[in-house]
């Protein structure tokens, strides 16, 4: 597998990295097999987050003894100094390492996030100290809001930016990637499969490989899926007219009706967790009904508080009919709560 330099971090990483969300649903034994397969086939960048349940421990166990060969990246969603420091310390323990190559401020999309991070006792201060102490080598940031991502890049505080990028969400290619690259940031692409919206790996990576300066973080949940993608990297890339037509069909099918996770719609005065609730359909598709209902219980129970005021919909740049989608997802969730886990597994 080809190595690329991740912007001004100077880190050499495999041209495709491992994104850890899908190993959440695997057992430790299965996750270790998948992670080791990726390593054996040349993947050296492993990206996870404090939020991704037990994925840090799984990575820590799978890569024990391989620290010198891999680049480890994690994230904190905490905005305050103490919380961010505690998350970092726990990530280090879970991953079984005394430093992280890259630590990222997770999902910085709203103004309130930025104010908290940069204010007195904000997480940025904790990150500066952690870097001085050698606990992290480089600081990165992730976002789902294009406007905020552009702002974050312009601060020159970060060495990497991670943003969704795939053939149904390609807006980053226009301004964000050129700006980040001009300023020397490493560019990481989250959600190469559109967060589960696209299932054709060949098409997904035929598109992404046209952007060699962007490192996709592929989420894998089986050895076969690791091989499927990494086999592609052993061939020359070609995007045919038929591929372009197939990508266009996906775009037309999805239209503008899917949630981009930008969070402009939030906050809800009633406390509805709008963005994750908007994504319930995708979660159910990826996890299966019973597991999705258990995983999203807190989110979906909050939807019961919705008063259909449409305030959120007025803020959505994609004009999504949010209250209607939320009600549809609530009905789906209620149906999924009735599905016994054994029936789904069988
Ligand atoms: S429509 Fe529902 S989710 Fe949206 S702001 Fe109003 S109460 Fe909140
Ligand atoms: S519902 Fe609209 S505003 Fe809210 S996160 Fe999704 S795309 Fe963004």
Which atom of ligand 1 approaches the CA of 271 most closely?
8
Token digits for 147? 């406007």
- The residue contributing the CA closest to ligand 1 atom 2 is 306
Within 13 Å of residue 86, how many CA atoms lie on the same side as its CB? 8
Task: Give the number of whichever ligand sits closest to the CA of residue 267.
Answer: 1
Which atom of ligand 1 approaches the CA of 313 most closely?
4
pLDDT class of 42 with cuts at 50, 70, 90:
very high
Ligand 1 centroid distance, CA of 163 (Å): 26
Average pLDDT for 235-260: 86
Ligand 1 centroid distance, CA of 268 (Å): 5
Q: Give residue-wise pLDDT tens across range 253-288.
A: 776 678 877 677 878 999 999 989 998 987 887 778
326 lines ligand 2 (CB under 6 A): no
What is the enclosing helix (H) or strand (E) of 11?
Answer: none
The pTM of this model reads 0.81
The torsion defined by the Cα of 173, 178, 183 and 186, in degrees rounded to 10, comes to: 40
Secondary structure of residue 108 in the 3-state scheme: coil
Q: Is the pLDDT of residue 28 over 60?
A: yes
Residue to mutate (ligand 2; options 168, 257, 310, 316; most atoms within 8 A of CB) = 316
What is the enclosing helix (H) or strand (E) of 277?
Answer: helix 274-278
Query: Which of 157, 93, 81 lies closest to 119, judged by CA?
Result: 81
């Amino acid at each position: 597998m080809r190595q690329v330099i991740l912007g001004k971090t100077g880190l050499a990483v495999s041209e495709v990295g491992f994104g850890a969300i899908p190993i959440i649903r695997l057992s430790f034994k299965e996750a270790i097999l998948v992670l080791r397969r990726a390593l054996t086939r040349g993947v050296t960048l492993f990206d996870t987050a404090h939020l991704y349940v037990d994925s840090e421990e799984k990575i820590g166990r799978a890569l024990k003894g391989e620290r010198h060969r891999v680049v480890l990246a994690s994230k904190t969603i905490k905005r305050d100094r103490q919380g961010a420091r505690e998350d970092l310390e726990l990530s280090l323990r879970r991953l079984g390492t005394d430093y992280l190559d890259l630590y990222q401020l997770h999902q910085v999309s709203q103004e309130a996030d930025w104010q908290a991070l940069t204010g007195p006792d904000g997480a940025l201060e904790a990150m500066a100290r952690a870097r001085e102490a050698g606990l992290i080598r480089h600081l990165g940031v992730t976002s789902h809001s294009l406007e905020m991502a552009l702002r974050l890049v312009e601060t020159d505080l970060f060495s990497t930016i991670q943003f969704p990028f795939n053939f149904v969400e390609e807006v980053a290619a226009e301004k964000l990637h050129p700006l980040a690259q001009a300023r020397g940031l490493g560019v990481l692409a989250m959600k190469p499969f559109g967060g589960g919206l696209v299932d054709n790996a060949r098409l997904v990576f035929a598109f992404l490989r046209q952007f060699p300066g962007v490192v996709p973080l592929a989420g894998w949940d089986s050895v076969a899926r690791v091989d499927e993608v990494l086999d592609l990297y052993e061939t020359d890339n070609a995007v045919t007219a038929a591929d372009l037509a197939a990508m266009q069909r996906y775009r037309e099918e999805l239209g503008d009706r899917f949630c981009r996770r930008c969070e402009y719609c939030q906050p809800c005065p009633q406390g509805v967790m709008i963005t994750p609730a908007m994504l319930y359909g995708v979660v159910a598709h990826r996890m299966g009904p019973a597991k999705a209902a258990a995983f999203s219980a807190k989110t979906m129970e909050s939807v019961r508080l919705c008063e259909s005021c449409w305030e959120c919909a007025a803020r959505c740049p994609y004009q999504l009919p949010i209250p209607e989608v939320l009600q549809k997802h609530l009905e789906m969730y209620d149906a999924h709560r009735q599905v016994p886990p054994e029936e789904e597994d069988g």
